[in-house]
Structure 1
Amino acid sequence: MSAYPVAEREQVLIRSARDVTELVNSGAARGGHARMIVLLALGGIFLDAYDLTSLAYGITDIRAEFGLSPAAAGAVTASISVGAVFGAWLGGHLVDRLGRYRVFMADMLFFVVSALGCALAPNAEVLVLFRFLMGFGVGMDIPVAMAFLAEFSRLRGKGSKGSRTAAWSPAWYVATSACYAVILALYFLLPEAQHGLLWRFTVGFGAVPALVILLVRKKYMDESPAWAADQGDLERAARILRGSYGVNAVVAEDARAEVRESSGIGDFTRLFRRRYRSRTVQALVVGLAQTFGYNAVAYGLPIIIAGLLGQGALNTISASLALNLVFAVSGGLLGIRLARAAGAWPMTVAGFSVQLLALVALAVIGKPSSTAWLLAALLMLGAFMFAQGGGPGANYMAFASLSYPTSMRGTGIGFNQGVVRIGATLSLFFFPVLSAALASDVFWVIALAPALGLVALLAKRWEPVGYDADAREPVQ
């Protein structure tokens, strides 16, 4: 940001909502608090991943502490996804109706309260309740975080919408790795007799970053100028551009403020109008495919590794952390770079292809009979995580968020996430059951997910990266 005051810079006249989005899309609006807002939005994604991962390792101790059956353990694990379904649907709608800022602040409070509630839960019923509330916050956060990433980024080049929506992926895996790092630290800090409480400390720690975000929100966080303009409030949009971007934006005397249509349930039906129908369906199938495969592998990772290694808790924690750091995070960072260069469609096709091969290989290997086969199995798990980070994990959000204009972006992401979370709920609930019943043959079932994703992508080539969804387009 330049040293001289905003008021002394050349004025930029705003006459319509389109002028605001073009200013942001072109990259002419730089500096100010925009980058910090992007980082705070990614902080919300970090919390989502941390909270979703926090019980992955501890589910065995939870079962022992509360005397749960496999089905009851599945209910505890899946409760967060059930909450995320309703949080996404309602949150997506509210993001478009009330604005990005208000919803973001509300879901941070959900994170704080639910994390502490889970950590102090006296029984499984209370744990399920607070995990549901935690999921509700997660569901609300995804639409608003992705809207911020899309609407505070240029259309193309470095720092583009494609790159920043893909940035949710490494943020997710860094959070997952951080969760395992917290578990590892607590493993050494707590007396061995207290290791059964690891899950409580891990879950409760999730309240800390949420509190940090709440404390810094007033200095940096602001509403999306594109959303404000879309609501017909060009004065507010200009004020945000001045405060968040350092652009001397002024509303012209001949400005025309147009409020886009919004009609309750009609917000959702717009997703299936001719122009957006195929995009909506493809984004749903890709989202369902990637989340089913990822949830089964990533959240079942401690169970899978324990089965492969057949050793103690320390090896399980260490291997889970290493796989996330070495493969998932590196894949996600690569995905940011390649998203703007290659696009979301080819990267997602490549990712699903590698995942399909890795899962088939794991099914064929089965229970490793030697060190060589064990290393091969771990390498295939790493390949799956790398492909997820750089392929469908990095890019499926682009299909859900960049395919729609500002007026329906929150609704589109929320609807997509609500349906996707139903798939996540099923995978989290059934994976422990299927894993216990099928052992290594469970990988044949998981392999159906990337196969389905490939079918959906090959049926129609739609590239959301670099596409200006706010520009007027002919009815398709």
Structure 2
Amino acid sequence: MSSSAVTIQTKQDIIDYVNGQKNTKRIALLLIIVLGTIFLDAYDLTILGTATDQLTSEFKLSKAYLSYIMTAMPFGALFGAALGGFYADKLGRKLILSVSLISLIIGSIGAALAPSPIILLCFRLLMGFAIGMDSPVAFTFVAEISNQKSKGRNVNYWQVVWYIAVVSSALIVMFFYSLGTGALLWRYSVGMGAIFAVIILILRLIYLSESPTWSMKNKTLTEACHELEQNYNISVHLDPKQGEEALYDKREVKHPMRILFNARYRKRTILATAIATLQGMQYYAIGLYIPLIATTIMGEDKLQSLSGTALINIAGIFGGLIGALLTPKIGARRLTIIGFALVASMMLLIGNLYGHVFTWLIAVMVGVFLFGHAGGPGTQGKAIASLSYPTILRGKGTGFVESVSRFGSMFGTFVFPIIYGSFGLNNTMLILALFPILGVIITTVIRWEPVGKDLEYEDKYIEKV
């Protein structure tokens, strides 16, 4: 425990400490542990994208059935996100983060050992449910342990973690491929996700305590101070004002959907949901199938297409990092507009130029697509959701946005193989460019910027039991 001591007299003092505390190595460690789920999300979603040829061959899959399997995770995540956000507000962040990881471990092992496509489909649904339950809670937790200045940046680091996972998945598949795993390649790769999940679960059980701001709203002052000590590795001196310790008033939002769409929150909810959904459509249609696109551009050689996948996705790491660092300065909304515009431009260029220019130039354009996506809408939709609501509503709001956005993930995942198989790469890019164009329009029209705002005072505007 650190020698620094903090005196807490009221629950408001806890909010003030969290908003004003400095970034430390302890906070960096917590961010890595919490955002580890995003690594798993990206890894588990994209790992099958590197092995669609093997899946199709082993299980004799049609393009439609392949789409069902690839869509199973985002479909499961739709329900997981809604429940995760609701119960995170009711039962706490830490419990949901632990339950979801245990479910993900079971799902990953089951998927790796699946003897038939229907069993694989069922375990992929479970994996999606677990990821969906965990993701909005992870974003919520990051927002609640970060100071006021760093909230937007810290939440947006998830996109950096995402692309590190995507690059890692390609490298891991290359590693297992070089070992001569043959037809079992996809099973080894999927099973590796369970090992990552076990590691993250152990780290969470050791280092992670409950969100201090959730505890401040739902527990006694003594309990909330304990969580503050554990998360920030500080010594807390409790000197409650008269009557403060007795203010254990756990109240819940009575009608969350009505609140999310009332006059105060409607604009925020629509903006966050639209960005998160449209970015899911564009990414899961294009980014998820980059191994397939790389095969089209670079040829059928497995190692060559995987190497191209890894190299192209490095652009996403840089885009996510730059987007996170610029968020406090430029704002989430403006970065979203820039990102959508860049993505739309690249999709239109690829659609018109593929087959008429050097293949390396097309690969560069795909990289710029990922750079714009990662620094803009890919990052900001979820960030806007987690930063737009006070603690008492944050889990439900973030869960709702995450849940609805999975429709975009499902749509993009499902339609790309079908459109691609029917119309080819050029026309597929031109058709799907409609998503980022619509994103530019919506984000330009709806003006809401959550970065830098302290919303905890808004509790008084929310109807509670």
Q: TM-score range by the shorter chain?
A: over 0.9
- Structure 1: gaps spanning 5 or more residues: none
CA distance in structure 1 between the partners assigned to 2:205 and 2:237 by the alignment:
22
Aligned equivalent of 2:228: 241
Aligned equivalent of 1:36: 29
Q: Say if 2:34 and 2:204, in contact at 8 Å, map to a contact too.
A: no
**3-state DSSP class of the match of 2:49?**
coil
Aligned equivalent of 1:127: 120
Aligned equivalent of 1:116: 109
Asked if residue 253 in structure 1 is aligned to residue 241 in structure 2, the reply is yes
Letter in 2 for 1:146: F
Q: Say if 2:67 and 2:415, in contact at 8 Å, map to a contact too.
A: yes
Letter in 2 for 1:236: E
Q: State the 1:258 CA deviation.
A: 6.3
Asked if residue 286 in structure 1 is aligned to residue 275 in structure 2, the reply is yes
After superposing the two structures, state which structure 1 stretch, 167-176 or 56-65, moved more: 56-65
Aligned equivalent of 1:24: 18
Are residues 475 and 262 of structure 1, via their aligned partners in 2, closer, same or farther at CA, if it must alter by over 3 Å?
Answer: closer
Q: Say if 2:283 and 2:412, in contact at 8 Å, map to a contact too.
A: no
Aligned equivalent of 2:323: 335
- Deviation track 1:180-231 (CA, whole Å, cap 9, x = no partner) reads 11011111111xxx42221111110001111112222332110001001111
Q: How does 1:93-242 map to 2 (within 5 A)?
A: 93-156=86-149, 160-190=150-180, 194-242=181-229
Which of 396, 406, 409 aligns to 1:411? It is 396
CA distance in structure 2 between the partners assigned to 1:247 and 1:348 by the alignment:
40
CA distance in structure 2 between the partners assigned to 1:132 and 1:251 by the alignment:
49
Q: State the 1:54 CA deviation.
A: 1.3
Which of 304, 312, 316 aligns to 2:301? It is 312
CA distance in structure 2 between the partners assigned to 1:282 and 1:216 by the alignment:
34
Q: Say if 1:26 and 1:155, in contact at 8 Å, map to a contact too.
A: yes
Q: State the 1:31 CA deviation.
A: 5.1
Count residues with an aligned counterpart.
458
Q: State the 1:236 CA deviation.
A: 1.2
Q: Say if 1:239 and 1:249, in contact at 8 Å, map to a contact too.
A: no
CA distance in structure 2 between the partners assigned to 1:352 and 1:260 by the alignment:
41
Q: State the 1:470 CA deviation.
A: 1.0
Q: Say if 1:235 and 1:251, in contact at 8 Å, map to a contact too.
A: no
CA distance in structure 2 between the partners assigned to 1:153 and 1:207 by the alignment:
29
Q: Say if 1:352 and 1:451, in contact at 8 Å, map to a contact too.
A: yes
Asked if residue 323 in structure 1 is aligned to residue 312 in structure 2, the reply is yes
Q: Say if 2:46 and 2:169, in contact at 8 Å, map to a contact too.
A: yes
**3-state DSSP class of the match of 2:399?**
helix
**3-state DSSP class of the match of 1:12?**
strand
Q: Say if 2:33 and 2:203, in contact at 8 Å, map to a contact too.
A: no
Aligned equivalent of 1:401: 386
Q: State the 1:375 CA deviation.
A: 2.0
Which of 444, 450, 457 aligns to 1:471? It is 457
CA distance in structure 1 between the partners assigned to 2:13 and 2:445 by the alignment:
35
CA distance in structure 2 between the partners assigned to 1:90 and 1:323 by the alignment:
35
Q: State the 1:251 CA deviation.
A: 5.0
Aligned equivalent of 2:64: 71
Aligned equivalent of 1:361: 349
Asked if residue 13 in structure 1 is aligned to residue 2 in structure 2, the reply is no
CA distance in structure 2 between the partners assigned to 1:357 and 1:251 by the alignment:
58
Q: State the 1:364 CA deviation.
A: 0.4
* Cα RMSD after superposing both structures: 1.9
Letter in 1 for 2:342: V
**3-state DSSP class of the match of 1:155?**
coil
- Structure 2: gaps spanning 5 or more residues: none
CA distance in structure 1 between the partners assigned to 2:419 and 2:54 by the alignment:
20
Q: State the 1:394 CA deviation.
A: 2.1
**3-state DSSP class of the match of 2:8?**
strand
Which of 436, 441, 445 aligns to 2:431? It is 445
Are residues 260 and 32 of structure 1, via their aligned partners in 2, closer, same or farther at CA, if it must alter by over 3 Å?
Answer: farther
- Deviation track 1:412-468 (CA, whole Å, cap 9, x = no partner) reads 111111111012111111110011011020011210111111111111221111111
Q: Say if 1:33 and 1:243, in contact at 8 Å, map to a contact too.
A: no
Q: Say if 2:267 and 2:448, in contact at 8 Å, map to a contact too.
A: no
- Deviation track 1:68-104 (CA, whole Å, cap 9, x = no partner) reads 1111111011011110001000111011111000000
- Deviation track 1:253-274 (CA, whole Å, cap 9, x = no partner) reads 325436464256x223221111
Asked if residue 298 in structure 1 is aligned to residue 314 in structure 2, the reply is no
Q: Say if 1:37 and 1:222, in contact at 8 Å, map to a contact too.
A: no
Are residues 56 and 295 of structure 1, via their aligned partners in 2, closer, same or farther at CA, if it must alter by over 3 Å?
Answer: same
Sequence identity percentage: 33
Letter in 1 for 2:15: T
TM-score, scaled relative to structure 2: 0.94
Q: Say if 2:63 and 2:417, in contact at 8 Å, map to a contact too.
A: yes
Aligned equivalent of 2:446: 460
Letter in 1 for 2:228: L
